[in-house]
Amino acid sequence: MWHEFKKFAVRGNVIDLAVGVIIGGAFGKIVSSLVNDIIMPLVGLVLGGIDFSSLSWKVGEAEVKYGAFIQTVVDFLVIAFSIFLFVKLLNNLSERIKKQEEKKETAPTITKEQQLLTEIRDLLKQQKETT
């Protein structure tokens, strides 16, 4: 069982996934900071100086912090849009590469026999033109 686990753990897909999770976590912190420290204060300023982080209402003993929820939704939207742009970029690059490969595959290949026949034809044309 240990051997199977080692084989699984060192496969490229697992390592790629681990790297993706680590980078995603760091990216999430950057986006949270962007939203909390830059976007939401500017949105609050435009809306008349509202501080979204303190928006809440009390229901009995419970405090519903809908301002924090709004910030989390904006976080999600920024991350989702960033991922959309990244995936779109990757798809465009993939399509370009695929088209280039298709062009290479569709290019006619000339056999040696065809090349020799073409050279003979050209030589005959030259002889005909000189006479």
What pLDDT is attached to residue 12? 64
Q: With bands split at pLDDT 50, 70 and 90, how would you rate the model's confidence at 128? A: confident
Please give the C-alpha separations between residue 128 and each of 119, 120, 121, 125, in angstroms, as whole numbers: 14, 12, 11, 5
Alpha-carbon distance of 63 to 72, in angstroms, equals 17
- In order, the DSSP letters of 113-128 are HHHHHHHHHHHHHHHH
- Decide: pTM greater than 0.75: no
Evaluate if residue 14 carries a pLDDT over 90. Answer: no
Question: Bigger pLDDT: 113 or 109?
Answer: 113
Residue-number span of the structural domain to which 113 is assigned: 2-130
Please name every residue paired with 57 in a beta bridge, in sequence order, or none if there are none. Answer: 64
What pLDDT is attached to residue 119? 93
Alpha-carbon distance of 26 to 34, in angstroms, equals 12
What sign has the CA pseudo-torsion 45, 51, 52, 56? negative
User: In whole numbers, what is the pLDDT of the chain averaged over residues?
Assistant: 86
Please name every residue paired with 64 in a beta bridge, in sequence order, or none if there are none. Answer: 57
**How many domains does the chain fold into?**
1
Alpha-carbon distance of 23 to 34, in angstroms, equals 16
Q: With bands split at pLDDT 50, 70 and 90, how would you rate the model's confidence at 82? A: confident
Task: State the CATH number of the domain containing residue 61.
Answer: 1.10.1200.120
What pLDDT is attached to residue 35? 87
Mean pLDDT of the region 66-70? 89
